[in-house]
Structure 1
Amino acid sequence: MQYTHLGRSGLTVSRLVLGTMNFGMEAEEADSFRIMDAAHEAGVNFFDTANRYGGKTGPGGTESIIGRWFAQGGGRREKTVLATKLYGDMDEWPNNGKLSALNIRRALDASLRRLQTDYIDLYQFHHIDRGTPWDEIWQAMEVAVQQGKVLYAGSSNFAGWHLATAQEAARRRDFTGLVSEQSLYNLLERSIELEVIPAAQHNGIGIIPWSPLHGGLLGGVLKKERDSSRRTTGRAKEALDAHREQIERDADFADELGHEPGDIALAWLLHQPAVTGPIIGPRTMEQFTSAVRALDVHLDADALAKLDEIFPGHRTAPEDYAW
């Protein structure tokens, strides 16, 4: 396993992040336990979840599954850098969502109970809260840090100016502020290169990409279509049709390099200087083991240039605003 620091912090995390959104939704509890055990065996120490995750088990279900896995002991909690998120409404009652000081306090305590732990390594804001001032948010987080319930703060789905505003407010309070940002980022969706990544790099914030395979489009979907009687339908088919030429070129290039398209997509993210590690969200053990292969894929300058040619999102970089 490869490791790096989370943003400008001293926290050491694995270059792959185990996403748990499918636990309780697509993966049964026993399978979720096996995947988490396999992650530790492979050296993955960075696990990501959210208080809203749960699928058919309802909000909080995924955190509860992780908590019961921790309760088995064997150093499971101690070996894990645990990240969870808050923002979404947990029910219809007022103040059970967003980032008010009241909800931060209540949501944090509820997550701690479900996760069967006394602290969160990385507590993340799942979305910007346009109705709560940053001084209120940071005051609540300062209390959580002082109480030993939270070690670091992170964000998710923030714009570049959100990161800048959050960090400026934290600096005024002599508080660390954000050390990470989770964003949609992959070969097909590179819009965060416009402002989010420059803002993150300027402020020492590590990027944690979610949906690194863009809903499976970058994971060898054409081969799966050929090898299966099941055809892509609905929104997935529309997305594939819209990007079919790029996906075909990417699949051919992956064959040329001797790797699977999904391995190339993950490896490309690992080669981006702002990226801490992409989130892999396996539903099965096979999906987890295949994702780990990406760590062994080296892309040289020519390969990276070819991927830029196929997926030219890099042309929106800030330098292209002007001459």
Structure 2
Amino acid sequence: MSRLVLGTMNFGPATSEPDSHAIMDRAHEHGINFFDTANAYGTLMADPPTGHLGLTEEIIGRWFATGGRRREKTVLATKVYIPMGKWPNESHLSALNIRRACDESLRRLGTDYIDLYQMHHIDRKSPWEEIWEAFELLRQQGKVLYFGSSNFAGWHIAQAQEAARSRHFLGLVSEQSIYNLLTRWIELEVLPAARHYGLGVIPWSPLQSGLLGGVLRKQRDGTAARSTSKRVSAALDLHRETLEGYEKLCADLGEDPAHVGLAWLLAQDGVTGPIIGPRTIDQLDGAQRALEITLDDDTLTALDRLFPAPAPNGSKPAPEAYAW
């Protein structure tokens, strides 16, 4: 699979359908074959709301329908869990919702199988026996090839894998988690668990909502493209000094901060590929630079000083950070 993953959350509410199709075509031109979506993508929280649940999958499905072996060339990942309605069994991971949600995703995507079907979140109420039985049936029916998790803790991964092992089932093959220079908590347990069980790791929000994309420089030169939410503004104020040091380091390297942030993730042990969510073709084209950057040891050390790894027991790496 490609080292960069095309995230599609902007398709529909933030990026028009024709532009979304053009981005997917350009992704294939760049050799990006791994596309990530979710059944709940397609709405933008606004007043009034824009789009509708499932719109993103519909846009991808209509792109597949244009031919050119687009579906065959794509490793397609989608998700289940987020409520798609207000009635019972229209959300989470009950056997009935898994069955219905998968069929609806297949219909919207215009395909007869999903390469990677991911649990969008842990379901603390549905027993693993029920979840795995439902997933096993989907695989037997040829509707899904592999299963993954998203936003799981390390012990959730262990729970899932040991339950799957008891059923002689493959279980999870990947974990999709927030991971970037500013948010490194998965290094404590999730990354070690994923490496232990042989799971690929797919980081989402690799630039922490744009904070690692040169936000200070863009504010100074007036090129900031997106409105800044209260949450992002608060994070910017909290990390301003660190981000100033980060953007200076990137300037000294002669590289864009966004590309350095992606290159750092690509250099982390166990990372399959970060998810990029371009709203435009230019953003997609620009992200390719990250694949060409090799960060030397001095640069990696400097980044660790700016963004220290979480370590509850001094500077030891996880999982040894918890003990001696």
* Pairing of 1:1-323 with structure 2 (within 5 A): 13-55=1-43, 56-228=50-222, 234-316=230-312, 317-323=318-324
When normalised by structure 1's length, the TM-score is 0.94
2:18 aligned partner, one-letter code: A
The answer as to whether partners of 1:213 and 1:265 remain within 8 angstroms in 2 is: yes
Q: 1:97 to 1:37 in 2, by over 3 A?
A: same
Deviation at 1:232, TM superposition (A): 5.0
The answer as to whether partners of 1:267 and 1:298 remain within 8 angstroms in 2 is: yes
1:318 aligned partner, one-letter code: P
Deviation at 1:314, TM superposition (A): 4.7
When normalised by structure 2's length, the TM-score is 0.94
**Alignment identity in percent?**
65
CA-based RMSD: 1.2
Three-state SS of the structure 2 residue aligned to 1:82 is: strand
2:31 aligned partner, one-letter code: G
CA distance in 2, matches of 1:227, 1:27: 24
Unaligned runs of 5+ residues in structure 1 are 1-12
2:299 aligned partner, one-letter code: A
CA deviation map 1:211-230 (0-9, x unaligned): 00000000000110011187
Deviation at 1:319, TM superposition (A): 1.9
Unaligned runs of 5+ residues in structure 2 are 44-49, 313-317
CA distance in 2, matches of 1:192, 1:134: 23
Q: 1:92 to 1:151 in 2, by over 3 A?
A: same
Three-state SS of the structure 2 residue aligned to 1:315 is: coil
CA distance in 2, matches of 1:229, 1:255: 17
Deviation at 1:154, TM superposition (A): 0.2
Deviation at 1:274, TM superposition (A): 1.0
CA distance in 2, matches of 1:208, 1:77: 21
Q: Number of residues paired by the alignment? A: 311
CA deviation map 1:194-225 (0-9, x unaligned): 11111111000111000000000000001100
**Greater shift in the superposed pair: 211-220 or 136-145:** 136-145
CA distance in 1, matches of 2:25, 2:174: 25
CA distance in 2, matches of 1:187, 1:14: 22
CA deviation map 1:91-119 (0-9, x unaligned): 10110111111111100000000000000
The answer as to whether partners of 1:185 and 1:209 remain within 8 angstroms in 2 is: yes
Three-state SS of the structure 2 residue aligned to 1:158 is: coil
CA deviation map 1:11-41 (0-9, x unaligned): xx11100000000111000110000000000
Three-state SS of the structure 2 residue aligned to 1:183 is: strand
Three-state SS of the structure 1 residue aligned to 2:311 is: helix
CA distance in 2, matches of 1:82, 1:208: 13
| Residue 4 of structure 1: aligned partner | none
Deviation at 1:320, TM superposition (A): 2.0
1:28 aligned partner, one-letter code: S
CA distance in 1, matches of 2:218, 2:301: 27
| Residue 9 of structure 1: aligned partner | none
